[in-house]
Amino acid sequence: MQKNVQISRALISVSDKTGIVELARFLHSRGVQILSTGGTARLLQQSEIPVVEVGDYTGTREMLDGRVKTLHPKVHGGILGMRDNAEHRQQMKDYGIDPIDLVVVNLYPFEQTVRKGCTYEEAVENIDIGGPTMLRSAAKNHQDVVVVVDPSDYTALQAEVESTGVVSFDTRRNLARKVYLHTASYDAIISGYFNEEQSVDFPDTWVMSGAKLQDLRYGENPHQQAAFYGDPFRSEASVATARQLHGKELSYNNIIDADAALELVKEFQLPTVVIIKHTNPSGVASAETIAQAYTKALATDPVSAFGGVIAANRPIDEAAAGEMAQLFVEIIIAPSFTPQALEILTRKKNIRLLETGTLDAKRDREKFVRKVTGGFLVQDRDLGMIDNIETCRVATEIKPTAEQYRALIFAWKVCKHVKSNAIVYANDGQLVGVGAGQMSRVDSSRLGVQRAQMPIEDTVMASDAFFPFRDSIDAAAAVGVKAIIQPGGSVRDEEVIAACNEHGIAMVLTGMRHFRH
């Protein structure tokens, strides 16, 4: 039966005290008896709001350093008792249990405690037991009980009671839904902490938790709905942690492209600019300044850069902003923007400016999840990178020059972020051509040459995976490539190496593949 509930008795016990005094004062003004515990009770008493301590109500003092205070039949019987059930009513009367109509509870700050750094013992002590039990009990019995876990719901609850004197079934059901989302997230965060503590990378049950950062206008296409969620333990600079300074709301595709751009630019230590179109780089360059790096990156493919996403690993200054403002782009994402740069870029109404803060060299060891129909895949984030390219095996008779080594590691970093099959042509500090996402590697090799706006001659080539045949080597030699970097590991490696020797091309084998599907 979907009935309205009038609040006569409330139990309030919160860790986050935001707005609780105002709500309690409102409830008291309507004659509601308030039960409370610990710090919440003291705060309400200090605010001159009459409170009945739960220990006085149950006749049992808190024990075990406060671990046991609300775990009592008079509390849970008052929450779980079904008002329309005659047997429940009789049992409640027999045991002196009064009905509790409103439960306002939020939980020990486990997430905040572990995020700021704590001992294992401190983490365990911040696992709430009584709170989730009361919340789940009240949510289960939402036919008779109002339950509130989110302080942002206090105002709406107060307005409904003030307007109608009761709380509707629809409101109670919606609040119960929010409770189960909250407790599920709370448990997911705790289990994630224990997995991390015990180095369990792939537990038997995979659980995820994420707080909504924003609703999106639509997904990849207008007929798909979408929203953006944040990982509770996110700490590394990312699109999820970035602050939007200007421009239209981010779209689903904006977020995907901005993430691709930022993750690629993080690979570089020198001032570097990345231009992304549909998650693939159309331009990448390193230079002494961001303005110079942008000019070089744009030169790779100025046509594809139109409507793209720009990422930089240094602050955007006036010189860089002046250059970038000449091109239509969707997003610029960078550690920061100088006031002069903002003054230039904000003249463009729609351009989205995202500020990430410093791009720390430390990278989070998070897992990547990819949905497939009927399930999902979980894997380690691809943080692999060559520490020192000169320690890699040179498989050919010719060894790369110092300049070629620099170009090879640059190309390898870019290639890691190109859709497979991936082929990259580069100079020392500048992307020259990209062949992305082709069904055969030789097609990617040819596409990279066809799309190049600058000479391929004397460049180096990077391949994300081994060459299955020598055809890509022959194609590279035909356009003047001087050195190649690839993982190796093909049954035809010797054939490929022989082709390099035949053409006078140096080849470095990394032993590390970077497929990107």
When pLDDT is cut at 50, 70 and 90, the band that residue 72 belongs to is confident
pLDDT at 1: 60
Residue 61 clears pLDDT 80, i.e. is over it: no
pLDDT at 97: 86
Give the SS3 label for residue 5: strand
Residue 70 clears pLDDT 80, i.e. is over it: no
Mean pLDDT over each residue of the chain, to the nearest integer? 93
Per residue in 453-497, pLDDT (tens digit) is: 999 999 999 999 999 999 999 999 999 999 999 999 999 999 999
CA 449 to chain centre: 36
Assigned token pair, 248: 């239209």
Question: Are the beta carbons of 403 and 500 closer than 8 angstroms?
Answer: no
Question: Are the beta carbons of 278 and 257 closer than 8 angstroms?
Answer: yes
CA 302 to chain centre: 31
Report the range of poorest mean pLDDT among 31-40, 107-116, 180-189.
107-116
Give the SS3 label for residue 173: helix
Q: Is 278 a catalytic residue?
A: yes
pLDDT at 364: 80
The enclosing H or E element of 444 equals helix 441-451
Q: What proportion of the chain, given as a percentage, has pLDDT over 70?
A: 98
Question: Are the beta carbons of 440 and 421 closer than 8 angstroms?
Answer: yes
Q: Is 140 a catalytic residue?
A: yes
When pLDDT is cut at 50, 70 and 90, the band that residue 96 belongs to is confident
Catalytic residue among 140, 178, 248, 367: 140
- Residue ranges and CATH numbers for the domains of the chain are 9-198 (3.40.50.1380), 238-379 (3.40.140.20), 389-509 (3.40.140.20)
pLDDT at 66: 63
> Angle, to 10 degrees, between the axis of helix 130-140 and the axis of helix 169-197?
150
Residue 357 Cα distances to 294, 331, 470, angstroms: 20, 16, 45
Report the range of poorest mean pLDDT among 74-83, 144-153, 310-319, 326-335.
74-83
pLDDT at 68: 66
Catalytic residue among 248, 278, 348, 367: 278
pLDDT at 64: 66
pLDDT at 422: 96
Q: What is the spatial distance between Cα 412 and Cα 211, in angstroms, rounded to a whole number?
A: 35
Question: Are the beta carbons of 133 and 71 closer than 8 angstroms?
Answer: yes
Whole-structure pTM value? 0.89
pLDDT at 366: 85
Q: What is the average per-residue pLDDT within 74-86?
A: 86
pLDDT at 447: 94
Assigned token pair, 196: 């991390």
Query: What own/partner pairs with CB < 8 Å and gap ≥ 24 does 80-85 have?
Result: 80/137, 80/140, 80/141, 81/141, 81/144, 82/141, 82/143, 82/144, 83/144, 84/1, 84/143, 84/144
Nearest in space to 426 (alpha carbons), one of 444, 404, 447: 404
Residue 67 clears pLDDT 70, i.e. is over it: no
Q: What is the spatial distance between Cα 346 and Cα 381, in angstroms, rounded to a whole number?
A: 35
Q: What proportion of the chain, given as a percentage, has pLDDT over 90?
A: 79
When pLDDT is cut at 50, 70 and 90, the band that residue 56 belongs to is confident
Q: What is the average per-residue pLDDT within 69-90?
A: 83
Residue 260 clears pLDDT 80, i.e. is over it: yes
Q: What is the average per-residue pLDDT within 384-391?
A: 92
Q: What is the spatial distance between Cα 450 and Cα 456, in angstroms, rounded to a whole number?
A: 10
What pairing do the DSSP bridges indicate for beta strands 460-463 and 430-435? unpaired
Q: What is the average per-residue pLDDT within 174-197?
A: 93
When pLDDT is cut at 50, 70 and 90, the band that residue 63 belongs to is low
Q: What is the spatial distance between Cα 13 and Cα 39, in angstroms, rounded to a whole number?
A: 8
Per the model's pLDDT, the better-predicted residue between 194 and 67 turns out to be 194
